Amino acid sequence: MPTLHPGQERVAFLIYPGFTALDMVGPHHMLNALRGEPVRLVAATMEPVTSDSGMTFMPHCDFQSCPGDLDVLCVPGGTQGTLAAMRHAATLEFLRDRGARAGVVSSVCTGSLILGAAGLLAGYRATSHWLTVEHLARFGAIPTQGRVVRDRNRVTGGGVTAGIDFGLTLLSELRDPAYAQATQLVAEYAPAPPFNTGTPETAPPELVARMRAMFAPFVAELDAIAPPAA
C-alpha cells in the first residue's frame, strides 16, 4: 500500500470564459491527490468564470497574485473560449511568464493551442483534440497523436477525457506508480464506454464527417488566428 504523503507542489490551472470544465476537473481530481499546496484555479481577474457548459468557477488567484514559480501549469481547452484566449494579450503574457519558470508546462485538449499561441510549444512534440492537432504545426510544435504526449517538460493531453490520463501520468511521475494506481482505484477509473466511437479511427466514417462539419466554423476561425502554414 503506498504511503499517502503530502508534498510541496504548486499546481495551477488556467481558467477562462468558455473553457471546457472536464478538461480541468478530470486532471484536477487526480493532481489534488498530491496533497501539496491547494490546487489553484487562476484567471485574469477574481470574477467568477463560466465554462462552455454553464458551470461557474471561482478563481483562487488572478494573474498578478498567482505564485511565480509553479511545479505544474496546466491549460484546459474549449472552442470559442479557447479562440478568445488565444487573442487575449494578458493571458498569453501570463503563460509566457509562468511557463518560462514552471517545472511542467501542460495542457488538455485544445489548451495546447493556447500554449502554442503563447510560444511555449515551438520545437516540442505535442497533441491536442483530434480536430485540431495538426494546427499545432502552425505554432512551431510537432503534432503528435496520443492520449498523453511528453517532450521534456511539456506534457499535453488529447481531447477532453484524456485529461484524466494526463493527471494520473503526472501523479505517477511526481510521486510513484503505486501512488497513482491507488488514486485510480479510489476514483474507480476503469473506462468501459458503451460505444467504440471515441476516436476517428474507431467511429463510423459518416459520424466523423458529421462532427467535422459541425466544427467547421470553429476550425475556420482557428485557421484565421493561427500563423500561416510553413
In a 10 Å sphere around its CB, with 0-12 CB exposed, 13-18 middle and 19+ buried, how is residue 195 labelled?
A: exposed
Higher-confidence residue of 230 and 150: namely: 150
The pLDDT of residue 228 is 87
Q: What is the average per-residue pLDDT within 96-113? A: 98
Reported pTM: 0.96
* 205 pLDDT above the threshold of 90: yes
The confidence band for 4, taking pLDDT boundaries of 50, 70 and 90, is low
- The structural domains of the chain, with segments of one domain joined by +, span 11-192
Q: What is the pLDDT of residues 129-186, one digit of tens each?
A: 999 999 999 999 999 999 999 999 999 999 999 999 999 999 999 999 999 999 999 9
> What is the average pLDDT value for the chain, to the nearest integer?
96
Q: What is the pLDDT of residues 58-79, one digit of tens each?
A: 999 999 999 999 999 999 999 9
Rounded to whole angstroms, the Cα distance separating 229 from 183 reads 42
CB 77 within 8 A of CB 107: yes
Active-site residue (options: 61, 66, 74, 109): 109
3-state secondary structure 179-198: HHHHHHHHCCCCCCCCCCCC
- Nearest CA among 188, 167, 156 for reference residue 33: 167
Angle, nearest 10°, between helix axes 89-99 and 80-87?
Answer: 80
The pLDDT of residue 229 is 78
66 is catalytic: no
Q: What is the average per-residue pLDDT within 5-31? A: 94
The three cell numbers locating residue 76: 484546459
Give the Å distances, CA to CA, from 1 to 131, 168, 180: 40, 17, 11
The CATH class for the domain spanning 11-192 reads alpha beta
Give the Å distances, CA to CA, from 67 to 11, 88, 98, 149: 10, 21, 8, 26
Higher-confidence residue of 194 and 228: namely: 194
Backbone φ, ψ for residue 55 (5° rounding) = -75, 140
Report DSSP state, residue 155.
E
